[in-house]
Amino acid sequence: MFEITLLAMGKLKEKFYISAADEYCKRLGAYCKFHLLELPEVRLPENPSPAEIAAGLDREAEVIFSKIPKGAYLCIFTPEGKTLSSEAFAQKMKEVKLSGKSSVCFLIGSSFGISPKVKEKADFKLSMG
């Protein structure tokens, strides 16, 4: 069965979002094995410098790389990514499955974004713009 992993930097806190996420997990279960992993954001000082942000993102990248399933197609959500319609997104996932990949890993970055190291490794960059 096809596997989908969603890596999210940070943790859902609001009950509404937690309930919605649980509902979507149940719905996806009929179509794939779905895993949601909420990873801890690196704590930064208030008003961090660009160097502190870069270092924090690099530390997050280490955790991210350790959680991406081996051989998974990596799709990251980033503003500079490509915007797809629902139909085009479904076609993209079909192409991934037909390419021989048995899993996809989606990544939602932290409040400061995603490390360039992770962006370089991504198979696809998606924008929700």
Q: How far is CA 126 from the centre of its chain?
A: 10
User: What is the pLDDT at residue 36?
Assistant: 92
What integer is the mean pLDDT of 101-125?
Answer: 96
Write down the pLDDT at residue 69. Answer: 96
**pLDDT tens digit sequence for 23-34:** 988 998 888 999
Assign 3-class secondary structure to 78-125.
EEEEECCCHHHHHHHHHHHHHCCCCEEEEEECECCECCHHHHHHCCEE
Local structure of residue 41 (DSSP, 8 states): P
pLDDT classification of 82: cutoffs 50, 70, 90: very high
The vertex-108 CA angle with 105 and 22, nearest 5°, equals 80
119: its two tokens: 């962006």
Tens-digit pLDDT profile for residues 27-70: 988 889 999 999 999 999 999 999 999 999 999 999 999 999 99
More confidently predicted of 13 and 121: 121
At residue 100, what is the residue type? G
